[in-house]
Chain A
C-alpha cells in the first residue's frame, strides 16, 4: 500500500524557516518524481515544484512564487521527501501536501497524496 505522511508543520514567525518532511512507503521511491502542493485556507491548490526521479538525475523545478526561497530534496535511502522553506511570509500560510507523480502511466498526474501538514506564518 502506498503511503505518504507529512510532518514538520507549525507556527513560524515571518522571515523564519521550516523544514517539512514526507515519509513514504509502499513503492520504489527512486522511480518516481515527487511534488509539493500547498493550499491556503479556503483557497485553491498551488503547485510548488517537484524533484525528478533517479533516471532523471533528481533535478528540481519550482514555481516562481517559491523559487529561491524553497528547496525540495529527497533522502532516497530512507524514502523521505523534504521541503526546506526559508524567508517565510504570511502568504505562505497553508496546508502543504506531498504527492507522488504517477509517471508516464498516469500521464504525470499526481496519483497519491499525503494528508497534509499545516504551516502558519505569523508574529
Chain B
C-alpha cells in the first residue's frame, strides 16, 4: 500500500500569516501516460464532512479562494495558505487517487489552529 505522510501534525499561526503543510507519498503519484499527479487535498472543519479543496495536486475546486495553493509532483506535495483567515481553521488531509494503486489512502492530517 502507498503510505501518505503529512507534516506537521498540527500548527498554529496568526491570521494573515502564510502556512505550508506537506504530504509525502511512498510511491510516485505521477502517471507517466499523461504527466498528471493523482493527489488531492481535503479540508475538514469541526463536526463537518471533508470537502474537496484541490485535486490533481494543484487544481482548486471552484469554491476555493486563491490563497490556497497546491504544488508538488511525484512523491512530495505541499499545500500553502497565504494570508490565513480565521475561517481556515480545520484539519487538512491529503489522499492519493492513483488508479493503479489501491487502497486510496489518506494522510494522517494536519490540524491548523489560529492563534
Contact = CB atoms under 8 A, between A and B. Distances in A.
Interface of A: 35, 37, 44-47, 49-50, 61-64, 97, 102, 106-116
B52 A102 contact: yes
A107 B108 contact: no
B105 interface: yes
Contacts of A50: 104
Given A108-B99, A109-B97, A111-B61, A45 B106 contact: yes
Interface in B63-115: 93, 95, 97, 99, 102-109
B40 A47 contact: no
A56 B78 CA distance: 33
Interface residues of B, number: 27
B51 interface: yes
Nearest 5 pairs of A and B residues by beta carbon: A109-B40, A109-B55, A108-B97, A113-B49, A107-B56
Given A111-B61, A115-B49, A106 B55 contact: yes
Contacts of B52: 102, 106, 109-112
20 contacts: A35-B104, A45-B106, A47-B103, A47-B104, A50-B104, A62-B103, A63-B103, A64-B1, A64-B103, A102-B55, A106-B52, A107-B38, A107-B59, A107-B97, A109-B56, A109-B95, A109-B97, A110-B50, A110-B52, A111-B52
